Structure formats: C-alpha cells, structure tokens
Structure 1
Amino acid sequence: MGAGGGGSEELEMYLRAGRAAAAALERAARIVEDGRSALEVCEELEEAISREAEPAFPCNISQGPVAAHYTPAPGDRLRIDGRSIVKVDLGAHVDGYIADTAISLAWTGENERLVEATREALNRGISRIAPGVPLRRFGGAVEEYARALGLRPVVNLAGHRLGRFELHTGVSVPNVDADAPGRFEPMGAYALEPFLVPREGAGRVIDSSPSNIFRLASRRIPKDPALARVASHIWERYRGLPFASRWIVRDLGEGALDALRALVSMGIVQEYRTLVEANGAQVAQFEHTIFVRKDGVVVTTRRRDERRGNR
C-alpha cells in the first residue's frame, strides 16, 4: 500500500471489510468440494464473515452456465457439482463500507484453463488502473487478453462502483472495450469482476429462475401491519443491501416468506433472477474490490496467496 493520498479512515473501513471477505474466500477454497451441500457452504462462509464484519449480500454459489445470483433457499438440496466451474461470490461490510469479491473453482482440465485465464484477466485489468484512467481501460485489457486465448468476455455483465450501504451506485465498469463514460475517481471504491466463457459461448447472459436474493427497493410503508413489520425489519437490518429469503426465515420465521412475496408484488422489494449463459456454456468469474487513492490503487480483497503487492 502506498503512503499518503488521503481517505485513510474510509480506506481502513474498506480494508477491514476486505480482510473479512478474503478470509471467507480462502475458507471457500478449502471446503467447496464435489457433493457438498451448497446451503451448508454458504451458511459457513456467511458465519465466518459475521465474526469480523457483516455480510454485504448473500453468499452466491453459481455453477456451470449459471453466471451469477444463485444463493440457496431455506432447506435447499443443491449440491456442489465437481464437473462444473463453481463460482463463489461473497460480500462483507463494515459500517456500510463494502468488499465484494469472488473466485472460481474447477477440477477438470478444460474448466481449470478457463478459470486460470479469468484470474489473469482480472489481474491484467487491475494493472491498467490509476487515478483518472477511463473506466473502459479495464475492460479493454480484459477483452484483449481473453480474445487472444480464443475466449469470450461476457459483454452484459460488468463491475460497479460501490457506495456506503450501496452495492451498485449506477456507475458500471465494462468487461470489454466499450464506450463507457467516466474515469476511475480518487476516493472511489470499485468492484471489478470479469466473466469469461469458451469460444462456443454466446458471451452474454439471460435472466433465468428466481435467485432467492432480494433487495428493499422502496421505503414506502404498507398499510397492512404484518407487511409493514417485515418491510421495517428489512430496512433496519439490511438497508438497501441484498438479503436472502433464508435470512428472513432466520430472523422472522417461515411465515414471513408470504409477507416477502407480497412486498415483491407491491414493488417494495426487488427480487433478483439468476443469470445464465445464453448458450449454456461454462462461465468463470474472478472479482476484487479496489480503492482508488490520489497516489495509486489499493486492492482491498487481496487473499494471502496473492499478497505480493497492492496490485
């Protein structure tokens, strides 16, 4: 980490969240294995984050052509499939300062090659970033490297700027050399997450089934007291951050699921969909959170096996 540059208090919050998320991903690399319950894995990882921070969103375990947004439902029976690429996407926050990070795991040769290429694409993209650099520079590096290997970046998934208690501020960081407005701004935090697919993939994702992930979309208070109670609990506990249906069951009991569905139908709560590769190809993902200082870039979610410097 470079010296000076301001924002030391914010940076320390981001680093604390990053350490919690990185440690949980290190645990994921040890415990994710063929046949293991996805629900048990997610609960263990979320518990690990909670010892040092708070989960910023539910643990995502997306397998094979499922690119993003799958978290187990209450009582979910899904198991890890060792034939697929398994993506583990985790978030932690400290007083609303967020770390968002992901790894991909694979156990067969072809899948392992795609995983390693995606890991390197992220590193190459980060190496192009400095204060004031155009956002498109990151995606340009990712796309150039992927296409040189005969791979495709997923064009309609992107990184995003982070805000306090805000996972997506509206500023996107594309994974291709797209005409994206804006630059990497000093004092800004960004989640950078390339997704790559093999040549036969479409290089884009489509909406699929419900993901068991939700977010409070409106502060409007329902007239029904039972619905108002659930909506108030969501705000007090999660603010505008995503949460899982199983968290609501844990907090309020199974009866609250009916209220949650009603809040979705009223537009007060948003329900996420899983995102699936349009051609059914395997998808790999890696993700880090960075904090841009006046004098350089700090990767806040660097894991111990990667710590050979800030980039």
Structure 2
Amino acid sequence: MPDSIVRPEYVGRSAPAPYDGNDVYSSEEIELIRESGRIAARAVELVGEAITPGVRTDQLDVIAHEYIIGEGAYPSTVGYRGFPKAVCTSINEVVCHGIPDDTVLVEGDLINIDITAYKNGVHGDLSKTFIVGEGAPEVVDLVDRTREALNRGIKAVAPGRQINVIGRAIESYARRFGYGVVRDFTGHGVGRAFHSGLIVPHYDAAPDFDRVMEVGMVFTIEPMLTMGTPDSPGTIAWDLWPDDWTVTTRDKSITAQFEHTLVVTERGADILTLP
C-alpha cells in the first residue's frame, strides 16, 4: 500500500472508533461519496471480467487492490476489524464476507464480489453477484431475482417514509419465489464511516425500524436471498467459520446478493455506486 494513500482511522486498530456523526450529507460531500463509489464500482466490473473457471479468488483480489490504489483510494476492507483483503469473495452457500484465498472457481459457481473504496475521507460500498461460466437455470433465476429485489428496495426509498418500507418491498418480492431473506446482515449507513450505525433491514421489520428517511441521507441496500427455507419466524440459520468472517447458510443452500450505496433525494434515490 503506497504511503501516499490516506488510511481510514480504523487501520491498525482492533475496531473503528464510535461514529458520532449523522447520516445526512451536503451536496459537496455526496459528490465525494460518488467518487469513492465509482472507483469501487469500476473495480467490481474489472473483477467481473476476470471471473472464469480456473481463476483463484486471490487473483481477483489482486485485480481490485491494484485498481483501487491506482486511483489513489484505499480498499476499505483491508484492516477493517482484521479483515485481510481488498475484496469479499462469497461463493455458493457463503452468504457474505468470504476471504479470497487459493480457492479455484469452477463452472456453474455463483460468486458475490463486495468492494468498498475510501477516498477524500468517505467510503463507497457495493456488491454484485456473478455466475462462473454457465449456471443452472435455478441459479440464474436466483441471481436475476436478487438483483430485482435490490431494485425494488431502491424504488421504495423516498423522503418522509420509514426505512422499514425498504425491507417490506424486498421480502414481499422474495416470497413470491419461495426464497429466504437473510435477516442478520443488513444495509447500513456509509460515508464518513464504513458502517455508521444506521441499520437498513431487508425484511418486513415494522415497526422496529421506524427511522424516517431524509433528503441527503446515505446508506446501502444489500439484500441476500437464499434458496433455503427460513427457520421460524423467518430467520435464515447460518454458521460462522473459524476465520471469524465467512458466513454460510446452515443448510448449505445457494445465496446471492446485490448492493448499492445511495442517497435519498426529493424524488426518491440516487445511486452513488455506478461505474
């Protein structure tokens, strides 16, 4: 990592400092988040172009790492609570936070690429799920429908609405196909902090999450849908690997995820993580 690149405050520490700011940003700050988000989004696309049978996940990490630092940005996950890599690579039954290593991708795998970039004091965060080569029809459907679930969550965004409407839109759509919605990993406030403390659930959480959305509020929406059957009362059971990061569905069912960072506008939402 070049010395010229500014590190987030949590690098070299066991945990980030508590965030005491808010989640509403000025127009100038939003453009800085958009710049970080664009870098992260372009890194995701570059990694996606390299996803083929036979590639290792640590090779994908190198692609993202080199691109991000080449743009003068910092890969936000490196050093965040001890995470060692620039990318989260979550394959098949891995819900999230998979660590790149010598795992070789094979035809038909599903892989989520989650990248966050930090520049000018702010983070931009997104993820996208890819299929390695040709996927089974049910896997293709899961990926397409998870992407659409994110779109529906974004369409639910509007100032004056409670944040729980986002999860309501996502879960009602996912239930049409019998998919489970992962509840324990959520969207979050992002910007000056990688995770600000604002929680954006992807399920029908009313009335527990009644924060009202405001113009200028920035957060992620990142639904994780699974082919597995939810446990009562709808929670997807999961396991954590000994690395303290990798999360898998307990029944080993396939899972997909899509994510964008966005800002609430007068008319709805503006996506800040487009290439």
* CA distance, structure 1, for counterparts of residue 115 and residue 180 of structure 2: 24
Residues 29-67 of structure 1 deviation map (CA, whole Å, 9 limit, x = unaligned): 211112201101111112112222221113000101111
2:271 to 284, 294, 299: 299
Residue 83 of structure 1 corresponds to 108
* CA distance, structure 2, for counterparts of residue 120 and residue 62 of structure 1: 19
Larger-gyration structure (1/2): 1
Higher-helix-fraction structure: 1
* CA distance, structure 2, for counterparts of residue 146 and residue 134 of structure 1: 20
Contact 1:63 1:81 in 2 (8 A): no
SS of 2:241's equivalent in the other structure is strand
Gaps of 5+ in 1: 212-271, 304-311
1:182 aligns with 2:211: yes
1:145 to 161, 173, 180: 173
Residues 45-97 of structure 1 deviation map (CA, whole Å, 9 limit, x = unaligned): 1211222222111300010111111122xxx3211233321111010121231
Structure 2 residue identity aligned to 1:182: R
Structure 1 residues 123-202: aligned runs within 5 Å: 123-164=151-192, 166-178=193-205, 179-200=208-229
1:201–1:77 distance in 2 versus 1, CA, 3 Å: farther
Q: Bigger shift: 14-23 or 196-205?
A: 196-205
Structure 2 residue identity aligned to 1:36: V
* CA distance, structure 1, for counterparts of residue 225 and residue 238 of structure 2: 15
Percentage of identical aligned residues: 32
Residue 54 of structure 1 corresponds to 74
Residue 241 of structure 2 corresponds to 209
Residues 261-282 of structure 1 deviation map (CA, whole Å, 9 limit, x = unaligned): xxxxxxxxxxx42111121100
2:140 to 75, 97, 112: 112
Residues 186-214 of structure 1 deviation map (CA, whole Å, 9 limit, x = unaligned): 32210110000115465525342244xxx
Regions of 4+ moved over 3 Å: 199-203, 293-296
1:13–1:205 distance in 2 versus 1, CA, 3 Å: farther
* CA distance, structure 1, for counterparts of residue 25 and residue 252 of structure 2: 46
Contact 2:229 2:236 in 1 (8 A): no
Q: Bigger shift: 46-55 or 137-146?
A: 46-55
Contact 1:136 1:180 in 2 (8 A): yes
TM-score, L = length of structure 2: 0.79
Residue 275 of structure 1 corresponds to 247
TM-score, L = length of structure 1: 0.71
Structure 2 residue identity aligned to 1:55: P
Contact 2:92 2:110 in 1 (8 A): yes
Contact 1:162 1:168 in 2 (8 A): yes
SS of 2:102's equivalent in the other structure is coil
SS of 1:162's equivalent in the other structure is coil
Higher-strand-fraction structure: 1
Gaps of 5+ in 2: 1-23, 78-85
Alpha-carbon RMSD across the aligned residues, in angstroms, is 2.0
Residues 195-254 of structure 1 deviation map (CA, whole Å, 9 limit, x = unaligned): 00115465525342244xxxxxxxxxxxxxxxxxxxxxxxxxxxxxxxxxxxxxxxxxxx
